[in-house]
Amino acid sequence: MTSTVASAWVGTLLNQATNGKLFPRPEQQPDFVLPPEYSVPGFNVSSSAASTLKPEPATVSGPCPEKAIDDEEASTQCKKFACLDVEKALCCAQDTNTIARVATNANDAYTKEKFLSFSSTLGKTDDEHIIVGWYGDSDLENPRNWSSKKKAFVTFLIGLLTFGVYSGSAIYTPSIPGVMEEFNVGLTKSTLGLSLFVLGYACGPLVLSPLSELPAIGRNWTYIPSMIVFVILNIVASVAPNYSTLMAMRFWTGFFGSPALATGGASIADMYDGVAVAFPIAIWAIGAVCGPVLGPVIGGFSAMNLGWRWPMWLLTILSGVTTIVLAFFLPETFEGYILLNRAIRLRKLTGNPNLRAQSELDQQATTVTELTKEALLRPIIISLEPVVFFTSVYLGIAYACFYLFFHSFAIVFIEMHKFNLGESGLPFLGLAVSGVLTLIGYLWYLSKIFNPRFLAKAKKGIIIPEDRLSIALFASFFIPASLFGFGWTSREDIHWIVPIIFSAFLLPGVFLLFQSLLVYLPMSYPKYAASVLAANDLIRSTIAAAFPLFGHAMFKNLGVGVGCSVLGAIFLVLIVPLWGLQKYGHILRKHSKYAHVY
């Protein structure tokens, strides 16, 4: 636990403020042994640094030893470490797709470049620098080497963070009647508080998520400061004196809460190798789904008994406690940040300015213009790719249907079945139950059926990203079935449990679609995965933000049955291009200048 706190945000701050006296890192401890790979013959270590070092062991474990070792032994050592480079590359790959590329496409120039950057070989040198990497394959500073318990704990914290932010969208819905009365505005204007929050976390990742990929900033310096702002803005929203202030705060809270949604998966991928990452990603994703599902449950009774501002106060309390817990206990997971700070400590310890992290050398060749293009322009350009555009719109409409249920539930359960404001959130528990059951079934399917088949093909050199779409095709029937069933059983003469049961089928469809398509996209565009996911997030969340604004009018004018049938028909039509994508997606990738052909 001490090492966890030491690498958390507060521990890092205290370490830097006390010059390593509090929560010292390995290089700052008196018993630290400097690996011989970081010692350069003829380079004198400063006296202050030398006093903290133990004598170096006589064994040599780095690449290509110096002339002190005879030529035959040096050759043996070099071969040994050439082998380790390949093993580390495979070990550090962040997804199944990456592992398969190494095994089957070793001559591909992009693959070589990608894996050299991942390998972080200990003591690797170039013409001027000694590259700082991990202290061997069992280095406990490497998130990939953390214990299963620690990884599970970190995954839980990221899931808690994501749940807290995602619940912020729907927790506002019980406040809508109070906002209408307090500020004398109509339903559409009041609903804007929901839409602006969703729009905020659509725009936020374009600016904030790229920061987490900068070695000087990392994950925690993106999460924690943005969450502090999130909490402060929620306080302002809770005491907003007028409608304009409330709406502005709703947008900016979504904006600053977005790193949890966009970067959480990356933090988990920092810890897990290959196909193993799919399991914690799925568990994390169910937290993201349960946020908006449980938001109305949390906010409903407080809005009814304490006033419309209290759901936002509850969000403030939840996010505030979460931020404090994460600040003290969420360790940094980004390899670039960890190794950069290790290089800084080693330079200070040895006085050798040539000790550098690979990220430092990479960043020297990157201009501000290139970073801006990467963060802002490329997602827009790549969103016009047919595969990216279709999957983003499909997920956007599925996501929007999720939020349209907030309007239809109010009509069905408050107006038809006479639920009060607090009780009107309880039907969402049906979605939560179906979500947990879906997660269990999905994890079983991955471990017993999909992953063994996928890896068997990968060993033969057969990598087909479109195989991932089989899950999406299965899921695509759940959404129209849920919409038709819910719509036509939403009547006063039918017991309220029946539409709740049908509504619960929506979540398996949405969850499995997300799991399938958001893995398929990075597999199809591995070199531009960040841009593809940013484009998907922007399109998806923009559509989801727009739908609630006309949802109530649609259901009131058409009726819940007809309104849900229109949406269900749209999803039935979308099954056809989804099937076409599975069958002919490889042709689209072949003619794309961004996609990868295996």
Q: What is the DSSP string of 278-301?
A: HHHHHHHHHHHHHHHHHHHHHHHH
Q: Provide the 8-state DSSP code for 26.
A: G
Residue with tokens 């209408």, as numbered in its chain: 180
The answer to the question of residue 110 being in a domain is yes
Q: Is 64 left (phi over 0), alpha (psi -120 to 50) or beta?
A: left
3-state class of 271 per DSSP? coil
Q: Nearest CA to 311 among 171, 163, 167?
A: 171
Final residue in a domain of this structure, among 336, 366, 396: 366
In-domain check, residue 371: no
Between CA 258 and CA 264 the distance in angstroms is: 10
The candidate with the shortest Cα–Cα distance to 330, out of 146, 214, 165, 158, is 158
- How far is the C-alpha of 371 from the C-alpha of 413, rounded, in Å? 49
Tokens of 322: 């979460």
- 357 and 500 fall within a common domain: no
Q: In terms of domains, do 258 and 393 share one? A: no
Instruction: Please report the pLDDT score of residue 374 as a whole number.
Output: 67
Residues 393, 358 share a domain: no
**Same domain for 145 and 115:** no
CB 541 within 8 A of CB 198: yes
Number of folded domains that form the chain: 3
Domain edge (last residue) among 338, 366, 394 = 366
Asked if 293 contacts 428 with a C-beta cutoff of 8 angstroms, the reply is yes
Structural element, H or E, at residue 224? helix 220-238
Chain-centroid distance of CA 304 in Å reads 34
Domain boundary among 79, 95, 122: 122
Query: Can you give the pLDDT of all 598 residues of the chain as single tens digits?
Result: 778 898 999 999 999 999 988 999 988 888 888 888 777 555 544 444 444 444 444 333 333 333 333 444 444 443 333 333 333 333 333 343 333 333 333 333 333 333 333 344 455 555 578 888 998 888 899 999 999 999 999 999 999 999 999 899 999 999 999 999 999 999 999 999 999 999 998 888 888 877 888 888 999 999 999 999 999 999 999 999 999 999 999 999 999 999 887 788 888 889 987 778 888 988 888 888 888 888 888 898 999 999 999 999 999 999 999 999 999 999 999 999 999 999 999 998 888 888 888 888 877 766 767 766 666 677 788 888 999 999 999 999 998 888 888 888 989 999 899 999 889 889 999 999 999 999 999 999 988 998 898 888 888 888 888 998 999 999 999 999 999 999 999 999 999 999 999 999 999 999 999 989 988 988 898 888 777 887 888 888 899 899 888 888 899 899 999 999 999 999 999 999 999 999 999 999 999 988 888 7
- Kindly state whether residues 469 and 582 are assigned to the same domain: yes
Distance (Å, whole) CA 498 – CA 509: 18
358 lies in the same domain as 413: no
**What are the strands, taking DSSP E only, across 128-229?**
130-132
Distances in Å between the Cα of 81 and the Cα atoms of 39, 84, 115, 586 are 18, 5, 15, 37
Provide φ and ψ at 125, rounded to 5°.
-120, 155
| Domain with 499 in it | 376-598
**Are residues 127 and 113 part of one domain?**
no
454 and 540 housed in the same domain: yes
Helix (H, G, I), strand (E, B), or coil: what is residue 186? Answer: coil
283 sits in the region (left: phi over 0; alpha: psi -120 to 50; else beta) called alpha
The answer as to whether 286 is a domain residue is yes
Nearest partner of 289 among 475, 461, 463, 82, judged by Cα: 475
Residues 66, 21 within the same domain: yes
- Dig out the tokens for 59 from the structure: 């064994």
Instruction: Indicate the angle between helix axes 478-489 and 497-504, nearest 10 degrees.
Output: 170
302: exposed, middle or buried (Cβ count in 10 Å: 0-12, 13-18, 19+)? buried
Residue 193 sits in a domain whose CATH number is 1.20.1250.20
Classify residue 223: in a domain, yes or no: yes
Tell me: do 270 and 189 sit in the same domain: yes
What pLDDT score does 223 carry?
Answer: 94
pLDDT on residue 83: 36
Same domain for 117 and 146, yes or no, is no
Q: Is residue 156 part of a domain?
A: yes
Provide the token pair at 136. Answer: 């061997």
Question: 239 and 289 in one domain?
Answer: yes
285 CB neighbour count, 10 Å cutoff: 22
